[in-house]
Chains A and B, each alone.
Chain A
Amino acid sequence: MYQSDAARLDPYQTQEPQSAYQTYAVGRDPYQAYERAHGPYQSREPGYGLHQPGHSPYDDQIPDPKSRMLAIQNAKAYLLKSSTTSGLNLYDHLANMLTKILDEQPTNAVDIIENISKDVKWAQFQKKMDTLRDEHEILPTFEAAEKRKALFLKANGGGDEELEEEIGETPLPNVMETAFYFEQAGIGLSKDESYHIFLALKKLISVQPIQTCRFWGKILGLEMNYIIAEVQYHEGEEEEETEDEEVIEEGGKKRGEVEDKDEEKEKEDEPPKSTYKPPPVIPKEENGTGANKYVYFVCNEPGKPWVKLPPVMPAQIVCARKIKKFFTGRLDAPVVSFPPFPGNEANYLRAQIARISAGTHISPIGFYQFAEEEGDEEEEGGAGRDTYEENPDFQPLSVVEMVDSLTTWVHHVQNILKQGRCVWLNPFQKSEEEEEDEEEEKAEEPDELQQEIGPPLLTPLSEDEGIQNIPAWTAQPSTNLIPQYAVAILQSNRWPGAYAFASGKKFDNIYFGWGHKYSPENHTPALPPPVQAEYPSGPEITETRDPTLEEELAFKAAKEEALAAAEEDDDEEDVEDDEEEDDD
């Protein structure tokens, strides 16, 4: 930009009278300053006589001071000349620039002189007095700030009653306290964000009938992130979400009926019916048990409304184990993958949350114990206990003990079996309804599935398998300098981003990450299944190869022979008939 300015000045120069040019030569020569500094030159040295005041080569053209004054005036007139394109003139611009430099006194001004010039020119535009008023730009930042401010406003109404309720037993977790303990290990969000989440959870609790609530963690996404709260409803207050599922099932049945009608119509030459029976859909676990023990709410940012995630189906967990996709941040985004994921991002998120909880939610040993009313331990092949309660006599271990060995920690979330459920279910067990509907003939009963057994609840971490030569968990105290107040911190190596802390009677789990399991090997997606055979060969339908040309010709020739032979016979017969008729 400056080069072009210089170029523009040059053509002007050639038009100016020589006298004016001379003063430029003195000022514009960049080397003059250096030259002056070298003096005084002796008459024999090169450089003598050049560029010395009063001895420049053009001096002879300005004989007297009057012309010099004229030359100066001409120069000033030139500087005051307004530019045709921008309306500025160089004199004013230089004056403004030098004023600005003298006012601000930046260091090494000569290095940034061009930028200062640019700034001065730019400032020109702002000072224009427009008759139009500036419309204040409504930046999206302002809207976001409004939402965040709304979190801090106390809800109206209620007055004293609410205050009492709030101070008493509240399901609201102390997010700041948990954040403090995790911060001792360097884990966690900034304090601002933690506080916003705190208030957002408070809002959630005031809206929904919630018994217990916990900040589960944050999962990062491509466009937006997810903040996740783990919640348990009051008993009996759950909304029935099964309506949607029933509607879907009915829709499927209707479609099936329509297809049957179509098939009945074409009874001739039907292609053989497929004997493919899709594997039975494993039903999801009841709300409140197994993988659906907790209900999860997510929001993108504190201040935005909380959205409830649907309960998880075993098929979704099984598929989620095979794929690895980033979350986009929009709950309704489709998950494009192979094997095709049965659901959208909300379902995928829920499945990953279930896996992470099952794999990494741990507590100090003794904090939870089994309720003592378990009479029968042998139900259903030792399905194990799935409920626990807090141990009132819990004696916390010291931090050193918690860190040294992994037997001091236990999982308190049920392990998810390969099937996708926590409690194994035999899908081929006939329930009463199904027996009536099923056809009498059963072609082939698949082999009975082996019951899957997982580690029981409250197993210590030392049973966790490592990956290759890495243990499943890394345990460290939060500080080595002040062991009296250190906090025991566990990091999961199988699910990077899952952390747990324990300090005295307090403990908690949290997750900050992208939502994927660690695998030292690269992810290999499942291969598509082999091409299916079309029809089984049987007496009705057999596939044979097309006859080759020679075979066809041979067949044709044979046929012609037979035809010729038949004609002869016919002729003979006809002749015979004729003869017979004739005879008659």
Chain B
Amino acid sequence: MEAASLPAALELAAGGGAGLSPEKRAVLGASLLLLQRDYRFERVWFWGCIQGVRGSYYIAEGLGPDRAAPRSRLYSLNCVEWSLLPPVTEEMVAQAEQLKGRFQGDPSFEYEHIEINAEDAERLFEDEMTTRKALPLKFAYVSLKPTIKEEARLVATIEQIDRAVGIIPRGAFVKTPLGSVHENRNFEGLSLTEAKKLSSYFHFTKPFNLKNKTLLEKADLDPSTDFLDSLEHDIPQGSWTVQLEKGDTVVVLRSLLWLGLTFYHVPVTKQYGYIYFGTGEKNFDLPFML
């Protein structure tokens, strides 16, 4: 969620019982601004908090002029000092997917005994070869490291969560003909009926299903606002709960795949955002639980 609207947003997204203490709220107002100054971000989003066993990580994301570009991610243990996380690679994501269990709370902790099965290893190897135009010497670099640091696991998890369940309302962002994406200044909010439908929300990440739509569906779409995947076709069906809270004035979507992700939107206003408060573990039991 936008750093500027953090106090109001936290009130709206607090239905799940998770939030920030007054101390953290107070310091975030200042420290996120300083982040914006230091890293020259155009927008700073407070992404949420991943709770480890011994401590929690508070995450912020910084966006540049193109809001759809890969974002810079920073973490902090106390919301005062922030450290930049390394940019995420596919290899990190693959390794992090193998890990199970809670985060430890210590950024330098190393997880051991990562096993990547042969197929993934080959795929990664090929990716590396094509992207790097590898010299034979770099063969050995295809790093099947047996250990992964908690920092890498953290950024990989954040990337997974953003890809899978980071959502925005339809029409909130527009794509310019030059390809860059920025906020739609004419977005006045979804109406109440629209806000209850899953098709009015998009994944804010590279679309997968867009090309597969039939021509009939594509005819109704407006390419400036409908350039992302909607939530309608998420698998498994029912992996989002849509509820009206606070006397039916706020629409809250919660993801069941990544328990802890909450998206809120006040219909007919510009207020929306998502935040994650949780342990950073994917809910693999979802099909059994529905």
Contact = CB atoms under 8 A, between A and B. Distances in A.
A463 interface: no
Contacts, number: 114
A220 B21 contact: no
A479 B238 contact: no
Contact of B14 (A188, A301, A326, A493): A188
Interface in A467-484: 468, 470-471, 474, 478-481
Most buried by A among B100, B238, B248: B248
Nearest to B286: A326
Contact of A145 (B10, B22, B247, B289): B247
Contact of B101 (A470, A474, A481): A470
B290 interface: yes
Interface size classification for chain B: 35 or more
A189 B186 contact: no
29 contacts: A106-B185, A112-B186, A139-B192, A139-B248, A141-B247, A147-B247, A187-B19, A188-B17, A189-B14, A190-B11, A193-B15, A193-B246, A217-B17, A220-B15, A220-B241, A221-B241, A223-B241, A224-B243, A225-B15, A324-B289, A470-B101, A480-B78, A491-B51, A493-B53, A497-B17, A512-B16, A521-B100, A522-B284, A523-B289
Interface stretch (A178-186, A420-428, A439-447): A178-186
Contacts of B256: 222, 326
Contacts of A504: none
Contacts of B16: 220, 512-513
Contacts of A223: 241, 243
Given A141-B249, A193-B246, A324 B288 contact: yes
A148 interface: yes
B18 A187 contact: yes
B20 interface: yes
B123 interface: no
Given A193-B15, A220-B254, A326-B256, A481 B284 contact: no
A189 B53 contact: no
A186 B288 contact: no
Contacts of A325: 288-290
Nearest to B240: A222
A481 B23 CA distance: 9
A186 B247 contact: no
B54 interface: yes
B192 A141 contact: yes
Contacts of B244: 140, 144
A551 to B, nearest CB: 50
Most buried by B among A221, A491, A512: A512
B11 A470 contact: no
Contacts of B15: 189-190, 193, 220, 225
Nearest to A142: B248
Given A481-B23, A522-B284, A474 B247 contact: no
B286 to A, nearest CB: 9
Given A225-B243, A326-B256, A326-B289, A186 B11 contact: no
Contact of B17 (A187, A222, A301): A187
Contacts of B20: 186
B181 to A, nearest CB: 14
Nearest to A143: B248
B142 to A, nearest CB: 30
A280 interface: no
Given A478-B21, A513-B17, A520-B100, 12 more contacts: A141-B249, A145-B247, A184-B22, A185-B21, A186-B20, A188-B14, A189-B14, A190-B19, A220-B254, A478-B23, A479-B21, A514-B259
Interface of B: 10-12, 14-24, 51, 53-54, 78, 100-102, 185-186, 192, 238, 241, 243-244, 246-249, 254, 256, 259, 279, 284-285, 288-290
A57 interface: no
B248 A141 contact: yes
A478 B18 CA distance: 14
Contacts of B51: 491
Contacts of B102: 470, 493, 520
Contacts of B17: 187-189, 217-218, 497, 512-513
A192 interface: yes
Interface string A512-527: 1110100011110100
A115 interface: yes
A468 B101 contact: yes
Nearest to B14: A190
A481 B80 CA distance: 12
A496 interface: yes
Nearest to B105: A474
Given A145-B247, A496-B279, A497-B17, A222 B288 contact: no
Contact of B285 (A192, A497, A522): A522
A491 B54 CA distance: 11
A192 B12 CA distance: 10
A186 B248 contact: no
A491 B53 CA distance: 10
Contact of B248 (A140, A190, A474, A478): A140
Contacts of B243: 223-225
Contacts of A516: 289
B101 A520 contact: yes
A141 B238 CA distance: 24
Most buried by A among B10, B23, B256: B23
A138 to B, nearest CB: 12
Contacts of B192: 139, 141
A192 B248 contact: no
Contact of A192 (B22, B23, B246): B246
Contacts of A225: 15, 243
A186 B21 contact: yes
B101 A186 contact: no
A186 B100 contact: no
Contacts of A193: 14-15, 246
Contacts of B78: 480
Interface in A166-196: 183-193
A145 B186 CA distance: 29
A188 B23 contact: no
Interface in A335-363: none
Contacts of A218: 17
Contacts of B54: 474
A184 B23 CA distance: 8
A303 B245 CA distance: 13
| A-B interface, 8 closest residue pairs, ranked by CB to CB distance from nearest | A512-B17, A523-B285, A144-B247, A186-B21, A141-B248, A190-B14, A144-B248, A115-B186
Contacts of A468: 101
A470 B23 CA distance: 27
